[in-house]
Structure 1
Amino acid sequence: MKFPFRCFTLLALVLFYSIANAQTSDPAKMKSFIDALMARMTTEEKIGQLNLVVGGEATTGSVVSMDVSSKIRKGQVGGIFSVTTPNRVRKAQEMAVNESRLKIPMLFGLDVIHGYKTIFPIPLGLSCSWDMQLIEQSARIAAQEASADGLNWTFSPMVDISRDPRWGRVAEGSGEDPYLGSAIAKAMVKGYQGDDLSAKNTIMACVKHYALYGAAEGGRDYNTVDMSRVRMYNEYFPPYKAAVDAGVATVMTSFNEIDGIPATANKWLITDVLRKQWGFRGMVVSDYTSVNEMTSHGLGDLKTVSALAIKAGLDMDMVGEGFLTTLQQSLKEGKVTMADINRACRMVLESKYKLGLFEDPYRYCDENRAKNELFTEANRKQERITAAHSFVLLKNQGPVLPLSRKGSIALVGPLADSRENLVGTWSVAADYANPPISLLTAIKQAVGSSANVLYAKGANLTRDADMEARVSIFGKKMERDNRPADVLIDEALKVAAGADVIVAALGEAAEMTGESSSRSDISLPSSQKDLLKALVNTGKPVVVVLFTGRPLVLPEEEKIATAILNVWFPGSEGANAIADVLFGDVNPSGKLTASFPRSVGQIPIYYSSKNTGRPLVGTGFEKFRSNYLDVPNDPLFPFGYGLSYTSFGYSEVKLSSANLKGNQKLEASVTVTNTGKYAGEEVVQLYIRDIVGTNTRPLKELKGFRKISLQPGEAKQVNFTVSTDDLRFYNNDLKYDWEPGAFRIFIGTNSRDTKSADVNWTK
C-alpha cells in the first residue's frame, strides 16, 4: 500500500500531535491513541510489531536474527533484545522512529535475571533469604541499572516451581513451594516495575515460564510436562497468578507441552486461564524460537504452528519470525483473522505506551545515567548484604564456625580462586573483563596480617576434561590444571599440614546449572570427593564452602565435613560476603527453599507430600509400607532448614481458640528465644494440614513466615493470623474453597522441626 508524500506528511503531523499529548496513566486516552495509530497501520506493519528479534551477543538458542536494520526500517520489528548502552539503543531507536513509515518506537529487552551490572545471588539463593524487602530491592537496583543502560524490559522473574534438582533451571527460580514462590513473585514484579512503568528508572517485568516448566520429566530441560489440573492449580499455578495479581506487564510462554499441546499454542493456558480466569491484560511473548519448535513437537510446519500460536493468544514471536513470514498467507487462507492480528498488535503497542515510549522514545538513552548509576558503591554494598543473607549453614559441628582471625587457614579447592563463576548462571551483563574478587582474595583481605592464609587448588572441578569444557562458557572459564590428580591432592595436603583449619571451596561451576544444564548425577564430582576425604583424614576441622545452583546429593559430605556453608553463586560482592559470614561479621540466617535429597532416587522430593494408604510410621524400614529398602524417606536437609551461629528455642504453639466458625480468624503464636551467644535472625515458619478433605491433602503446607532478629537471651512472641483464605484449595471441580473440619497448625524452624496444635473449624 503506497501513500502520497503529502498524506504521509499529514499522518506524521497527526501522530506527532497525538504522541506529544499522550498520557500513559489514562486507559481511555491510551485506547484512543492506539485506536488512531492502528487505523493508520497496514496489515504488514501490524504483523511487524509482533516480531521480537535478537540484536546482540546474548542468545539462548541456535537461531540469530538476520538483516535487523532493514527490517526495522520496513516496520517489521516490534522489539529487540540484547542491545544495550544508551548510544547503541538510541541508534537503533532512531532507525525505527526516523526511518520507518509510522515512526513507532521499539522495545528493548534483556535477560536481567538477578541483577544487571551489579549481580545479586542467583534467584534460588535470593529465595533462601526469605526476606521480601531484600528481594524487592535487588530487583529495584536491577531495574535502575538496566534502565540507565537503555533497557525497558526484562525477561524475569522466573517463578517455575520445581521439585527436581536435576533440572538446571532450578537455579533461576525460588524452589519448591507455591506460597513462598508467590510472595517472591510479587516482590520481584514490584521491584522491577515500581508504581509507574513510565518512570525512567523502571522496566517491564515478564513472568516466566508459563507454565509448569519446572516439572519437566526426568529433570531434562525442554521436556514434556504431564500433570493433573488439580496439581496445576494448587501447586504450580500460584506464583504465575501472584505475578499477574501484582500487575506484571508481560508473560512468557514455556517450551514444554501441557495436555499434549505446547504452551506456546495452548489456548486453554493463554486465553482461558491467563486472560479470562486471571484477568491478565498485558502482552504474551513466546520463549526463544518456541513457535518454530512446535514443528519438532509434531504440530505442523512453520505456517501452521504460527497460526496456532496467535489463535491461542500469543502476541509476540521471539526470534523465530514465524509470525513475520507466514501470518499474511494464513490470513488470506482464513487460518487466522484480522481480529487475531489486531489483538496481538494492540498488546504490543499498549506495552510501549505504558512505558512512555510514544512520548519520548529516547527516555532510556541518558548517557549521564549510564555513567553514574551502574555498578555503584551503594549497589555493591547492598549486594554484599543480600548475598550474606542468602547463605544457608547446613552443618556446624563443634561449632567450628565462625572462624577466628588468627593462626593459619588453608584454603583449597577448584573454586577457591575462581572469579567469574561467583556470579552464577544468567549474568549476561556482568563485566567479565573485571570479574569479582575470588574467595582467596577476600579471605586474605578479611584477615589482613592477623592470620596466615595458605592456598592450593587441590583438584580440578571434575576429572572429565570434556565436561569441564562444556561448562566453561559465557565468560566463566575454569583454569584446568593438567597435573595428575594425586599430585594436586598431595599439594593440598602439604598446605593443610601447616594450617589450624581447612576451608574447602567445592561444588559446581556456574554453568553447571541454568538453561540446558540438566544433570543426571547431582553429587559432587569424584575429583572433589577424593580431595575432601583426603582433607578430612588429616584430622583437622574442614569447613566446606559449597558453591551450587541446585540442591546436591551430599550424604557422605554431610557425614565427614566439620561444617558446610552453602553459598550458592553469590554475585558481584559474593566473596566478601562469604568472608563476612565465615569470620562472624554476619550471622547466617538463610533457610532452604528446596529440599536436599539423600539420593537421586528420591527425586522428586518435597516437604508438602501426601500420605499413601500405607504411610511409613517412624523412620526405620517397614515391610509393606511406602518406603525404600536402602535410604530413609526424608530428605538430607528439609525445606526451610538452616542453622545459625546462635540457637533458638520454641515454646509450644498457642491458639486463640480450638473451635472456630465461618469467617472467624485464628491467632496462632509461639515464643522464640535466642538461647545462644550471638545476635541472630530466625525465619519462623507456619504450616497447616487439612486433616480430612474431599481431596487428599498435603501433610503440611506453608501458609506464613516471619523473619525476626533476637539478641542473646531475648525472647519474642511471634503471632500469625489464620483465616479461611489460608484453608482454601482447588478441588476436583476446580472450585476454590475451604472445607470445614479438623486442621493442624504447625510452627517451627523448618518444615520438619515444628510444634503443633489442633483446631476444629466449622462453616
Structure 2
Amino acid sequence: MVSRRSVLLGMSMLPAWPALAREAQDRIDDLIGRMTIEEKAGQLSCFSDTIRPLGRPTNPGEAARDAAAMLMAIRAGQIGMLFNGHGVAGARKAQRAALQSRLGIPLVFAADVIHGYETIFPIPLGEAAAFDAALSERIARAVASEATAGGLHWTFAPMVDVARDQRWGRVAEGAGEDVHLGCVLAAARVRGFQGNDLSADDALCATPKHFAGYGAVGGGMEYGAVDVSPATLRAVHVPPFAAAFAAGAGAVMASFTDVNGIPATANRPLLTGLLRDELAFRGPCVSDYQADLELIAHGAASDEADAARRAILAGTDVSMQSGLYNAHLPALVAAGRVPMARVDEAVRRVLGLKMRLGLFDRPFRSLDRAAERTRIGTLATRALAREAATRAVVLLRNDGDLLPLSSATKRIALIGPFGDDPAQLDGPWSFAGYRRTGIDLATTLRGRITAPTRLIVEPGSGIEAPIPGGIERAVAAARGADIVLLAIGEGGDMSGEANSRTSITIPVAQQALADAVAATDRPIVVLLRHGRALALQGAVAAAPAILATWFLGCETGPALADILFGDVEPTGRLPVSFPFATGQEPWSYDRLPTGRPPPAEPQPQGGTGRWRDAPDAACYAFGHGLGYTRFALETVTAPPVLADASDVVVTVRNIGARRGTHLVQLYVRQRVASLARPVRQLKRFAHVTLDAGESRAVALPLGPADLAIVDGRGTRRIEPGDVDIWIASSSADPGLHAVTRLV
C-alpha cells in the first residue's frame, strides 16, 4: 500500500520548502510581537501598483488611489505588497516609503507575468505543445531574469488548472487537458521561475493557481461554479499543484470560483483541509483579484466584514485589491470574531516569504537600474523566444507533403487578418508586450522574399467583421499565386480571462474568406491563430496543410518562416484535443468508458454511447502532430510484472528522408479496478531525434505509483490487476500494445 500523501504528490516527499533558520524565525516572531493589528492587516493586503502602472488597465478599479496616496499608505504600514507595476525607479521610491514605516518591513512586488515580461514567449498552452520540461524551465528562467530586472519579486504563475472544456478562455494560460503533462510542466516552470536560490537577484517567486478545480467551471463559463467529486478533484485537478509544491513553489493563489457550493476564497475544507493538512503547503495563499469582496455576490457573506472574516478563517492569507483586511480585520479581532492567532499565522507566512526572498537583508534586491538596462530584451532571450515559438507549432495536416515550401515557389499570397498585424502576436496576458517589439509573418516574408512580385499580402477580412471588397481582393491574390498562406483564427482578446465562447469555431467573416479563397483551387496552408482547441469547418478543415500556431509571441514571424520553409522541423504535439464540433465539449482523451461503447465502424448504430452527428472522438487527438519525416514504432518490451519501477522499451525508426524528432508517448489503462479507469492515460513521453534510416531503443520508466487510484473519500491505493500499455504517436493512435500485471 502506498501512502496517501506520496500518491497525491506522485513522489514520496514533502513539498520542497526547507524550514527557515532559527534566527529568521526569531526575527519574524519579534516583528509579529511588536506589530499592531492594523500593521498586521497591512502585511496581508495587496494592491494594484499606481506608483508605476503598466500603462494599460489589466483589472477593474486598478487606479483606486493615486501614487501620492499609495506612498502615504505604505509609510503608514497599510500595504504589504504591490502588483502589476513595473520599472525600477518607481519600485525604489515605493520601497523607500516602506522602509520609512514604523517597523520598516519591506514591500514585495508582484505581477501577472504569465508568458513573458517584455520579451513575449508563446502562451503557456503553446509552450505546452513542445512537451519539453527542459524548454519550459529555460523559458521561465529567462522570464524571471527579465521580470526581476524590471523590479519584480513574485509572479502569479504558473496557471496549472487542468482544462477540458475548450469554451473556457483560460485554457490559453495552462498546459491543457492532461494531468501528467500538467504536472511535469508545473514543476518545470516553478524551477525556472525560482532558480536554485529564492533570495537571488534573478529569482521570481512562483504562484501556482487557481486552487483548485477552476478548469472545471460549468459550461466553460468564466468565473462559473465548479461541481466536482472529491475523487475527480484529487485525481485530476490537484496533482499539478502537488507537483508545483514539491518543486518548491513559494505561494499559491485561490480560485475565484465556487467549488462544490462554497467559494474557494472562503472554502476551509479546500484551503485548510486539502491545501495545508493533506498537501502540507507552507507558503502564503493569496486571493484572486477582489475575490474576498465577491463573496457577497456569491451569497456566501452578508457584508464586507463578514466576507473578510470568512476569507481569513478559511485560509486566505492575503487579500488582493479589495482592502477588506485593512478595513475590517482590526474590528473583527477586537470583537473576538477572528482569533489573533489566525492573523499571526497568515502574517508569519507572508513575512516568511519576504525573508526567503532576501528582502529583509536586501530590501532593494532586484531593483537595480543597471540590470534593467542590460537584462531586458537581450539577443539571447529573443533567440530563446524564437526557439520556443518554433517548438510550439503543431503540424496538424500535410497532405501530399505540401510543406515545407520549396525555394522554387514563385508566388505566395499571404491572406487573412493575422498575416500583417503585429498587435495580434502575443495573445492574452502579455504584460509589457504592449511595447510592440514583435515581428509578424508579413514583415518576415518581405525580408526573405525580396522580389516584390513574389509576395502579395491581403487581409481579406477583419477578425470578426468583413472588410468592404476584402474577399474580392483576396480571391484575386490567391488566383495569382502558386500557394496561399491563410492566416486566420482568434484575436488576442478572444481567449484568456473573461473570454469564454459558446462556439469555438473560426469567426464567420474569416470562414467566408476561407471558403472563397478555397474555391480558387490553389493549394492552401492554414495558419491558425488561437488560444484554445478549435472546431474546424468547411474549407479550413479541408485544407491540405494546417498548422496550429497559437499565439507565439514576439518572434511569431521568424518562427513561422522557419517552419514553413523547412529550416526547422515541426515537433509540436497537441496538449488539447481538437473536437469535431463545439457540442462535444467538455471532452478529453482520458474519459471514462461507457458500458455501451460505440462501434468501431463509422455507420450509426442504436443503443450505444454516441452522438448522432459526430463521432465520440477528436478531430485531432491529444498528442497528435506531424513532422517533415516519418517514424515507425517497431518493437515494444514491457515487464511482465510491475512490482517496482521498471522500463518499457520501444524501438523507433526514422523511415523518412530527412532527420527529425519524434515524440514517443506511453499510455496505460488498468483493465479491472474498483473504480472505472480512463480509456487511456498518458504516463510518460520522450523525444528521440534520428537521422533518416536510423533506429534507437527508448526506455520509458513505469512504476506502481503511476497506476494509483483515488476514491471519493480521498483514499489512494494500488490494486493488483492487468494493465494495458500502449506506445503510440498520439492518444488515438493504436501504436504498439503490451500487457503487464500490477502486483
Q: Please, what TM-score do these two structures have when normalized by structure 2?
A: 0.94
Equivalent in the alignment of 1:703: 683
Note if contact 1:402-1:582 (Cα within 8 Å) is conserved in structure 2. Answer: yes
Amino acid aligned to 2:203: T
The offset of 1:694, in angstroms, is 0.5
* Whole-Å separation in 2 of the counterparts to 1:26 and 1:588: 46
Q: Is 1:641 the equivalent of 2:629?
A: no
Q: Tell me which of 633, 639, 642 is aligned to 1:656.
A: 639
Letter in 2 for 1:622: Q
Matched residues in 2 for 1:727 and 1:326: separation? 48
Deviation at 1:424, TM superposition (A): 1.1
2:36 equivalent among 42, 63, 77: 42
The answer to whether the Cα contact below 8 Å between 2:211 and 2:254 also exists between their aligned partners in 1 is: yes
**Aligned pair 1:117/2:118, yes or no?**
yes
Q: Which residue of structure 2 lines up, in the alignment, with residue 172 of structure 1?
A: 173
- The alignment partner of 1:268 has SS state of helix
- 1:493 counterpart = 2:491: no
**2-side partners of 1:87 and 1:139: how far apart?**
24
Deviation at 1:761, TM superposition (A): 2.3
- Report the secondary structure of 2:719's partner residue: coil
Quick check: 2:526–2:545 contact (8 Å CA) kept in 1?
yes
Q: Corresponding residue for 1:538?
A: 520
Contact 1:405 1:450 in 2 (8 A): no
Query: In the alignment, which residue of structure 1 is the partner of 2:74?
Result: 72
The answer for the alignment partner of 2:402 in structure 1 is: 400
* CA distance in structure 2 between the aligned counterparts of 1:535 and 1:228, rounded to whole angstroms: 48
Distance 1:619 1:71, change over 3 A: farther
- Aligned partners of 1:230, 1:389: CA distance in 2, in Å? 35
| Aligned ranges 1:466-477 → 2 under 5 Å | none
Residue 26 of structure 1 and its aligned partner are, at CA, apart by 4.6
Does 2:295 correspond to 1:294? yes
Shift of 1:363: 1.3
8 Å contact from structure 1 (residues 654, 670) kept in 2? yes
1:738 aligns with 2:731: no
Q: Specify the alignment match of 1:415 in structure 2.
A: 418
SS at match of 1:214: helix
What whole-Å deviation, never above 9, does each CA across 1:236-267 have from its counterpart, x for those lacking one?
Answer: 11101111111100000011111211001111
Q: How far apart are the structure 2 equivalents of 1:762 and 1:144?
A: 45
Change (3 A) 1:25 1:239: closer
Note the C-alpha offset of 1:446.
2.7
Could you report, residue by residue, the CA deviation over 1:96-136 in whole angstroms, capped at 9, with x for unpaired residues?
A: 112x1111110101111011111100000000000111111
Could you give the per-residue CA deviations for residues 648-673 of structure 1, whole angstroms, max 9, x where no partner exists? 1111422233xx26x34443222111
C-alpha distance in 2 between matches for 1:253 and 1:307 = 16
Q: Are 1:526 and 2:529 matched, yes or no?
A: no
1:157 CA displacement: 0.1
Identity %: 40
Q: Tell me the distance in 2 between the aligned counterparts of 1:202 and 1:525.
A: 41
- Give the deviation of 1:27 after TM superposition: 2.4
Per-residue CA deviation, residues 523-543 of structure 1 (Å, 9 max, x unaligned), is 001111111111111111011
Q: Is the 8 A contact 2:158 2:190 kept in 1?
A: yes
AA of the residue aligned to 2:731: S
Name 1:572's counterpart in structure 2.
554
Residue 675 of structure 1: CA displacement?
1.1
Kept after mapping to 2: 8 A contact 1:742/1:758: no
* Structure 1 vs Structure 2 CA RMSD: 1.5
Counterpart of 1:11 in structure 2 is: none
How big is the shift at 1:339? 0.4
Give the aligned partner of residue 628 of structure 1.
611
Report the equivalent of 2:61: 63
- Equivalent residues in 2 for 1:365-444, closer than 5 Å: 365-406=367-408, 407-432=410-435, 434-444=436-446
Q: Point out the more displaced range, 61-70 or 177-186.
A: 61-70
Match of 1:751 in 2: 731
Any conservation in 1 of the 2:296–2:307 contact (CA below 8 Å)?
yes
Partner of 1:33: 27
Aligned counterpart in structure 2 of residue 346 of structure 1, from 332, 348, 362: 348
C-alpha distance 123-666 of structure 1, shift in aligned 2 (>3 A):
same
Contact kept, 8 Å, 1:50 with 1:77, in 2: the verdict is: yes
Displacement of 1:25 in angstroms is 8.3
- What is residue 270 of structure 2 aligned with on the other side? 269
Structure 2 unpaired stretches of 5+: 1-17
Q: Which runs of 4+ in 1 moved over 6 A?
A: none
Counterpart residue identity of residue 359, structure 2: L
Q: Does structure 1 conserve the Cα–Cα contact (< 8 Å) formed by 2:526 and 2:540?
A: no
Q: Give the deviation of 1:459 after TM superposition.
A: 1.1
SS of structure 2 residue aligned to 1:616: coil
Q: Residues 650-705 of structure 1, C-alpha deviation per residue, up to 9 Å, x if partnerless? A: 11422233xx26x3444322211111122111110000101100011101111000
* C-alpha distance after superposition, 1:259-313 (max 9, x if no partner): 2110011111111111111111101000000000010000121111110111111
2:152 is matched with 151
Report the Cα distance in structure 2 between the residues aligned to 1:656 and 1:329, rounded to whole angstroms. 64
Paired amino acid for 2:420: D
Task: Tell me which amino acid in the other structure corresponds to 1:266.
Answer: N
Query: Residues 304 and 579 from structure 1, CA distance in 2 versus in 1: closer, same or farther, beyond 3 angstroms?
Result: same
Paired with 1:556 and 1:703, the residues of 2 have a C-alpha distance of 35
- 1:66-105 Cα shifts (integer Å, max 9, x gaps): 232221111000000122111110001101112x111111
Provide closer, same or farther for how the CA distance between residues 760 and 582 of structure 1 changes in structure 2, counting only shifts above 3 A: closer
Unaligned runs of 5+ in 1: 1-23, 464-480
User: Does the aligned pair in 2 maintain the 1:409–1:451 contact within 8 Å?
Assistant: no
TM-score (ref. length: structure 1) = 0.92
Structure 1 residue 759 displacement after superposition: 3.0
Query: Quick one: distance in 2 between partners of 1:332 and 1:38?
Result: 17
- Residue 28 of structure 1: how far off its partner (Å): 1.5
Note the C-alpha offset of 1:758.
4.1
Q: Which residue of structure 1 aligns with residue 182 of structure 2?
A: 181
Q: Within 1, Cα distance between the matches of 2:454 and 2:568?
A: 22
How far the C-alpha of 1:454 sits from its partner, in A, is 0.9
Question: What's the CA shift string for 1:175-200, capped at 9, x where partnerless?
Answer: 00111000000000000001100000
Q: Which residue of 1 aligns with 2:366?
A: 364
Secondary structure of 1:651 counterpart: strand
For each residue in 1:569-600, what CA deviation from the matched residue of structure 2 results, as whole angstroms up to 9, or x when unmatched? 00111111001000000010100011011111
In structure 1, what is the Cα distance between the partners aligned to 2:584 and 2:291? 31
Aligned to 1:252: 253
Measured in 1, the distance between the counterparts of 2:150 and 2:39 equals 28
Q: Which secondary structure state, in structure 2, belongs to the residue aligned with residue 53 of structure 1?
A: strand
**Alignment map for 1:117-136 (pairs within 5 Å):** 117-136=118-137
Alignment deviations for residues 331-350 of structure 1 (CA, whole Å, 9 cap, x no partner) = 12221010011011111111
